Amino acid sequence: MRNTQLPTPLPVQQFARCIDDTARPAGYIGDWPEAGRVYPVRVLPHVRTGQKHVHVLGFYAERPYGAFAAHRFEEVATLWMN
């Protein structure tokens, strides 16, 4: 019998429009969003701070990057999948 239950992610796909593509860090290696484009995303809280971070699905970035600040995006749609 299993005593530990892990959280199950909701079956949703989120989409967000990039509204701020400025301030790309120097030496950043990877994909960077363009203002005005809509991307499939996943919004997760930061492990230490709890602030929302946006992960653009399909983007490549070298560590320590990989997520963007929530103020750079506006939510467009949430699609519930069955």
Question: For residue 69, how far is the Cα from the chain centroid?
Answer: 8
Q: What is the pTM of this model?
A: 0.82
Q: Across residues 37-65, what is the average pLDDT? A: 91
Where do the structural domains in the chain lie, given as residue ranges?
12-21+33-80
Closest to 40 (Cα-Cα) out of 54, 59, 20, 57: 57
Q: How far apart are CA 73 and CA 47, in angstroms?
A: 20
How many Cα atoms occupy the beta-carbon half-sphere of 12 within 13 Å? 12
pLDDT on residue 72 = 96
pLDDT on residue 61 = 87
CA distance readout (Å), 49 to 11, 46, 52: 25, 6, 9
Condensed to tens digits (0 to 9), the pLDDT of residues 4-43 reads: 777 777 899 999 999 999 999 888 889 999 999 999 999 9
- Looking at every residue in the chain, the average pLDDT score rounds to 90
